[in-house]
Amino acid sequence: MDRIRIVGGHRLMGAIPISGAKNAALPLMIAALLTDGTLTLENLPRLADVSQLARILANHGVDYTIEGKRIGDSEVQGQTVHLSARQIVDTTAPYDLVSRMRASFWVLAPLVARMGEAKVSLPGGCAIGTRPVDLLLMAMERLGAEIEIENGYAVAKARNGLRGADIDFPKVTVGGTHTALMAASLAHGTTVIHNAAREPEIVDLADCLVKMGAKIKGAGSKTIEISGVSRLTGARHAVLPDRIEAGTYAMAVAMTGGDVLLQGARAELLQSALDAVVRSGATVAETNEGIRVYRNGAGIQPVDVSTDPFPGFPTDLQAQFMALMTRAEGTSRITETIFENRFMHVAELARFGAHIRLDGDTAIVEGVARLKGAPVMATDLRASVSLVIAALAAEGETMVNRVYHLDRGFEALEKKLGACGAEIERLSSGG
């Protein structure tokens, strides 16, 4: 199993190209199931989760081709892929495929919308909490699907097609909103989603669906209206830049000091996180090319944050911000309101010498003057990258184990950081 070795203490200087967003790429790829035309996605990141989803889609009959590289293309440039679901050959998504990635459960919506049936393994628990799918199933039922749970599978049927309805989510859910958007696009009549998620990845999916012929109004607000159409077509769409990757590197620079341009990053996609980075003492400036983050000399200031659905502080940056706060000149409080168990990184950060105490849904982080490198590992992808951030600022050597978590969501991490002066290398199995 690969490991990443980091020797801390180097300031980050240079430029980091920001990849396409994993959490936009996954629902966009799934949307290919809605049409017999070809969906072309540009700027798709090279990630383990993208390859895993491509395997799942292939099982349903999606033809997946990657455009070749051209001279002059850079290694970290996103790829262009063509997805074509001319015929759905299988409406079952089996346990061994779905259990590895929760977002693959989202195939349920387009399969039912297009084929009138789907049998999808329930995703089960994961390292950040129980993460049920009751609201996704509720949305499908509101649209007229009949759903039974049989042997660990959700079996959904809508023999006469789905019909538009009011869907009122009692809690903001990204996956629930993606599900409702995809299913309602091919339902008879009008659907209104109340309390919809407003994440930029929702807007990206809606934009792509509109290019495919869907009629959607209000994506990015709390109320989305969809007038169903009988057929969607192929389209071409570029995946939006990854705000979580950009926020992660912004926090890394705030931690080590230095000056880095996050190329292609868009500040409006992560304003609340950038505000927290600024309050910690770094400077953030928007440029034509992206976002420039720098911090010189002065210490890191403690900042309290609480995660919230967009436009609030993202739960997917909570672990990284906690890593930054471990070196603050004072005490900060970090509250997690989205997932009940997303503090797996706390014990690992303590291995660097961080002082963190948990009090219910809040981590109380008492900043320390120095961190010291250590062997560490983590059980989810954002937690893993928080350990990388701590390691970049720690004295001496850190070995990050279980690197496959990082490969799920960070494209060319060690190359991007290495190019900015970090001492970081990947050691392959046995290396």
Instruction: List interacting residues with ligand EPZ (CB under 6 A).
Output: 23, 26, 102-103, 129, 131-136, 171, 173-176, 315-316, 338-339, 381-382, 409
Task: Tell me whether residue 10 or residue 405 sits nearer to ligand EPZ (CB atom).
Answer: 405
Task: Tell me whether residue 227 or residue 362 sits nearer to ligand EPZ (CB atom).
Answer: 362
Q: Are 26 and 49 in contact (CB under 8 A)?
A: yes
Query: Which are the contacts of 150, defined by CB distance < 8 A and separation ≥ 6?
Result: none
Task: Tell me whether residue 63 or residue 275 sits nearer to ligand EPZ (CB atom).
Answer: 275
Of residues 315, 332, 292, the one with CA closest to residue 244? 315
For residue 121, the one-letter residue type is: S
Q: Are 129 and 337 in contact (CB under 8 A)?
A: no
Q: How many CB atoms lie within 10 A of CB 210?
A: 16
Q: Are 67 and 79 in contact (CB under 8 A)?
A: yes
**Whole-number minimum distance, CB 70 to ligand EPZ, in Å?**
30
Q: Label residues 237-258 b or e (16+ Cβ within 10 Å = b).
A: bbbbbbbbbbbbbbbbbbbbbb
Q: Is cis: bond before 302, omega within 30 of 0? A: no
**Whole-number minimum distance, CB 310 to ligand EPZ, in Å?**
7
d(CA 306, CA 335): 4
Q: Which residues are catalytic?
A: 126
Query: Which are the contacts of 376, defined by CB distance < 8 A and separation ≥ 6?
Result: 348, 351, 352, 387, 391, 398, 399, 400, 401
**Whole-number minimum distance, CB 139 to ligand EPZ, in Å?**
9
Element (H, E) at 375: strand 375-376
**Whole-number minimum distance, CB 87 to ligand EPZ, in Å?**
27
**Whole-number minimum distance, CB 338 to ligand EPZ, in Å?**
5
Task: Tell me whether residue 324 or residue 338 sits nearer to ligand EPZ (CB atom).
Answer: 338
Task: Tell me whether residue 10 or residue 237 sits nearer to ligand EPZ (CB atom).
Answer: 237
**Whole-number minimum distance, CB 135 to ligand EPZ, in Å?**
3
- What would the two tokens of residue 369 be? 């003057």
- Residue number closest to ligand EPZ, CB atom: 175
Of residues 18, 19, 29, the one with CA closest to residue 205? 29
**Whole-number minimum distance, CB 195 to ligand EPZ, in Å?**
11
Q: How many CB atoms lie within 10 A of CB 83?
A: 25
Task: Tell me whether residue 175 or residue 281 sits nearer to ligand EPZ (CB atom).
Answer: 175
Going along 245-313, which residue ranges are E strands? 258-263, 283-286, 290-295, 305-306
**Whole-number minimum distance, CB 103 to ligand EPZ, in Å?**
4
Look at phi and psi of residue 235 and say left if phi exceeds 0, alpha if psi is from -120 to 50, else beta: beta
149, burial (CB in 10 Å: exposed 0-12, middle 13-18, buried 19+): exposed
Task: Tell me whether residue 313 or residue 352 sits nearer to ligand EPZ (CB atom).
Answer: 313
Tell me the torsion sign for CA atoms 168, 173, 174, 178: negative
Task: Tell me whether residue 108 or residue 381 sits nearer to ligand EPZ (CB atom).
Answer: 381
